[in-house]
Chain A
């Protein structure tokens, strides 16, 4: 009797543990996604809720009529604004990701190679900025970058420059903002990969005649590929859709897709077009996500041995 109860309990426990994330994903990902997907095929409507229903009861024919509207997607193709913002977003995200990698790799490497007791301290320092609001930290960059901001004033005082540099509202400012904000997402997966490396492999490489530099490029770098891929995707994917950083620090003549998206939703209140933009963005990002999953699977297979 007791045993049966225990089995029941453990079964229920198992289901509960597995069930919670599924329910979460269903409620907060699958259903919202379907709603957005649905809206992307409807017409804009001045009255609430802002878009026409897909399925309507038509009195005259006494039937339900479904109307699918593809014009939102057509609009994306026809208006060159969308294409250029998509491309610009991808460019900004890609360049920022590369800089994140260049800055983050040496940092992750250094942390992974220092004494275990100091590692935790450094990791804390990496995560520490998260304790302040993301928005505040981006605002702070305005104070640093603006014409009479900290950077310009310091450089002027030191006599390095004669007149203030235009730093704010440029691509450069956006790169800085993205690299600064997303660096931890690059460092953490890289660190967790590099920390697991078997250092005797480097000794073996050295023993076989490889200089430390060669050993790095032939052994450490290829073995850290899963970490690099994970880090790059964790930076690239959110960076493509980023709208806070470009709207606060970026150019006014060239928008990023995230900014367009938020402008369509909240400014123009054109939910159907905004939804279509969101769906296309999602499909575009599906490719790197699939790539990520392939790498994860490969890593899992490697971990099995």
Chain B
């Protein structure tokens, strides 16, 4: 997951202390956020976390209860959706069922009052870009899911918006098509230089698409960062748990030095040594998070008596590229370990009910205070 450098030069969208209430329910709670020109920003969160409401406020379908939204320096308060320099791709695609593909794509341009020849030219250009030229005369119901998705994308992009909002753009596609389309989306975005704000609940989608991710929970942005930041340096238990899978151990700080910390966890026999300092009061209650792929598993005991554990393999899930092991520690705690299947033959692999030793590098654990 190599990341493109983020150009932080130009702020395009600025969300300032935006709150949205529906009656007593606070859907979006005091969110402040900047989106830079030309980036793909993903709002990631579970259902009901407020990500779609935030997107709809950018599009103009909802207005903030408090706070303000600036797009390209202009305050969007009171500006209806049809006057915003923004286009949206809807989760359901919202294609007009009574119009052909061509007409759907032309709809936005007709509203701009362009000449017929100009519209025809731009529509056919756009249909070529999304490879739907031969389907121009079809109605939406005669298309497959993937084709409809591309019509929706073409319809939004043909207006040459500076900002494109995408609500779960790949949600309705099957896995293979989704992976393929993700890369197509990135290519298109680079080709056209549009700023994307994508809402998704699918962390894999967010990881592949985004230059930056904003993780949302209960109406608030809990962390903003590059996919690597979010995955490797989560700032809270929520983010660590939400993104990818993680083994989380509750523990107590027993040694706190600028260059390292030691933590005792009830569920682990050995102490955890972490090779970086943290900012927490001494003897604070903390959580240690270790990603399954960062744990080594072997039949022989490690030399160190720190950062290790012993257990019995209880479950193995073979996923093809890797295998997921569930190991039960002596404390009864289950630990998830993933091992890449480098070898083709399974002779050497660890099997059910084997006693194994787990260990990890001191730089691997993340210490979480909230």
Interface residues of A (CB under 8 A from B): 198, 200-201, 203-211, 214, 218-219, 222-223, 302, 305
Is A204 in contact with B96, judged by CB distance below 8 angstroms?
Answer: yes
Q: How far is the CA of A200 from the CA of B92 in the complex (A)?
A: 8
The reply to whether A302 and B97 contact each other, CB–CB distance below 8 Å, is yes
How long is the Cα–Cα vector from A305 to B98 in the complex, in angstroms? 13
**Cβ of A115 to closest chain B Cβ, rounded Å:** 14
Residues of chain B with a CB closer than 8 A to A198's CB:
92, 94
- Assess the B82–A210 pair: CB atoms within 8 A: yes
A223 touches B98 (CB 8 A): yes
Q: Are B111 and A204 in contact (CB under 8 A)?
A: no
Q: Closest residue of chain A to B83, judged by CB?
A: A209
Q: Please determine whether A205 and B141 come into contact, CB atoms closer than 8 angstroms.
A: no
| Cβ of B20 under 8 Å from chain A | no
Q: How far is the CB of B114 from chain A (nearest CB, A)?
A: 11
A302 CA to B96 CA in the complex, in Å? 13
Known interface pairs A203-B61, A207-B88, A208-B159. Does A218 touch B80 (Cβ–Cβ under 8 Å)?
Answer: no
B141→A305 contact, CB < 8 A: yes
List 10 A–B pairs whose Cβ atoms lie within 8 Å, in order of A's numbering: A200-B94, A204-B88, A204-B90, A207-B88, A208-B108, A208-B111, A208-B155, A209-B82, A209-B108, A209-B159
Q: Which residues of B contact A (CB under 8 A)?
A: 59-61, 80-83, 86-88, 90, 92, 94-98, 107-108, 111-112, 141, 155-156, 159
Besides the known contacts A200-B92, A302-B141, 20 further A-B residue pairs in the complex with CB atoms under 8 A apart: A200-B94, A203-B61, A203-B81, A203-B90, A203-B94, A204-B90, A206-B60, A206-B80, A206-B82, A207-B59, A207-B86, A208-B82, A208-B156, A209-B83, A209-B108, A209-B159, A210-B107, A211-B82, A219-B96, A223-B97
Interchain CA distance A223-B95 in the complex, whole Å: 12
Chain B residue numbers with a CB within 8 Å of A206 are 60-61, 80-82
Chain B residues whose CB sits within 8 angstroms of the CB of A201 once the complex forms: 94, 96-97
Contacts of B90 in A (CB 8 A): 200, 203-204
Which B residues are in CB contact (< 8 Å) with A211?
Answer: 82
Q: Which residues of chain A come closer than 8 Å to B141, judged between CB atoms? A: 302, 305
Closest to B165 in A: A207
Q: Roughly how many angstroms separate A198 CA and B92 CA in the complex, as a whole number?
A: 10
A295 to chain B, nearest CB (A): 13
A218 touches B88 (CB 8 A): no
**List of A residues within 8 angstroms of B87 by Cβ:** 207-208
Bound-complex Cα distance A207 to B80 (A):
9
- A200: chain B residues at CB < 8 Å are 90, 92, 94
Which residues from A are CB-within-8-Å of B108?
A: 208-209
Residue of A nearest to B59 (CB): A207
B86 to chain A, nearest CB (A): 8
The smallest C-beta distance from A218 to any residue of chain B, in angstroms, reads 7
Task: State the CA gap A200–B87 with chains docked (Å).
Answer: 14
* Residue contact B82 to A218, C-beta cutoff 8 Å: no
Pick from B92, B96, B111: contact of A209, CB below 8 A. B111
In the bound complex, residues from chain B placing their C-beta under 8 Å from that of A208 are 82, 87, 107-108, 111, 155-156, 159
In the complex, how many angstroms separate the beta carbon of B97 from the nearest chain A beta carbon? 7
Minimum CB distance partner of A206 in chain B: B81
Cα–Cα distance between A205 and B108 once the two chains are bound (Å): 8
* Interface core residue of A208, A214, A219 (most chain B CB under 10 Å): A208
Q: Please indicate the chain A residues that have their CB under 8 angstroms from the CB of B95 in the complex.
A: 204
Q: What is the minimal beta-carbon distance from A225 to any residue of chain B, in angstroms?
A: 8
CA–CA, A165 and B30, complex, Å: 65
- For A204, the chain B residues whose CB sits under 8 A away are 88, 90, 94-96, 155
**Which of A207, A214, A223, A302 contacts B81 (CB under 8 A)?**
A207
